[in-house]
Structure 1
Amino acid sequence: MPEPGCKGGFWGLLEALLDPKAPSSWRLKGLRLYAGFLLALQGGVLLLLAWVLPRASHPLLWGLALGGALWLLLQAEAAWRKEGEEPLTPLRVLGLGGALFFFLGVMGLLLWPGGLLLFLLGGLGFLYLWYRSERALLVRR
């Protein structure tokens, strides 16, 4: 729940996330709300895709999955280096973490049952980028 001084509930937390002068506790709660929304939305879409996506066990798909995951992680690192002081950088990096989770989730569905490892890697990558985004918000006071 939002703090007593935060106006507008959830929308107020998301507005505070965009405002670099807002209290860091509000910005942190807004980032957590955004991360939860990304996980819920993409997890729901992955559940729907699980019913219709065919299984395609091909060894080159493993290389594509790992190469794509590495590329998304490198994009997140490049965003930190290039735009490290910009207030929206944690949102961009968290969005790339969501893309990593979704991409590896779809690849995991294609390579099922061995693709369960890709689900775990996608979740760990998302959690890593989420952790880095929270730390960046706490450092920028």
Structure 2
Amino acid sequence: MPAPERKEGLWGLLEALLDPKAPSSLRLRGLRLYAGFLLVLQGGVLFLLAWVVPRASHPLLWALALGGALWLLFQAEASWRREGEEPLTPLRVVGLGGALFFFLGVMGLLLWPGGFLLFLLGVLGFLYLWSRSERALLARK
């Protein structure tokens, strides 16, 4: 009996991402699609927020931004430890990376112009969690 056909296109890639028995190449492309969508969507929202978010400079906001970023990174690490073999863990970790990017982006807008460093830190954290998720998907072949 032949294997069932997979849908082509964007929805097919996202369905493959949710299917642990799908080929890892399709799951990897689905993860890249999901991560790229998160990055573009949240980047666009940050661009729109740049026009309306007031500038505020307070040392406690820096502490809040760095503390929140560390908390999100620890949540991602705990997700790897707690559910490392679950098929949706890479998807969850990329989502936490998107939350890290957005949170630090908003805090960077509040603390502008020095907050640009927070924005860059958010991008680096997102890329780190994304690449770690891709490596986990490739290791599960």
**Smaller-chain TM-score bracket:** over 0.9
Identity of aligned residues (%): 86
Segments of structure 1 that go 5 or more residues without pairing to the other structure are: none
Secondary structure of the 1:11 match is helix
- DSSP 3-state at the match of 2:51: helix
TM-aligned CA deviation for residue 43 of structure 1:
0.3
TM-score (norm 1): 0.95
Question: Match for residue 127 of structure 1?
Answer: 127
Amino acid at match of 1:98: G
Q: Where does 1:21-32 land on structure 2 (aligned, <5 Å)?
A: 21-32=21-32
Amino acid at match of 2:21: K
In 2, Cα distance between equivalents of 1:30 and 1:54:
37
Q: Report the residue type matching 2:99 in the other structure.
A: A
1:103 is aligned with what amino acid? F
4+ residue runs of structure 1 moved beyond 3 angstroms?
Answer: none
Q: Retained in 2: the 8 A contact 1:53–1:109?
A: yes
What is the 5 A alignment of 1:1-141? Answer: 6-141=6-141
Determine helix, strand or coil for the equivalent of 2:22: coil
RMSD between aligned alpha carbons?
A: 0.9
| 1:6 shift after superposition | 4.8
Aligned mates of 2:116, 2:9 — CA distance in 1: 37
Query: Aligned pairs, how many?
Result: 137
Q: Which runs of 5+ in 2 are unaligned?
A: none
**Separation in structure 2 between the aligned mates of residue 7 and residue 95 of structure 1, nearest angstrom:** 24
| Alignment check: 8 A CA contact 1:6 1:26 kept | no
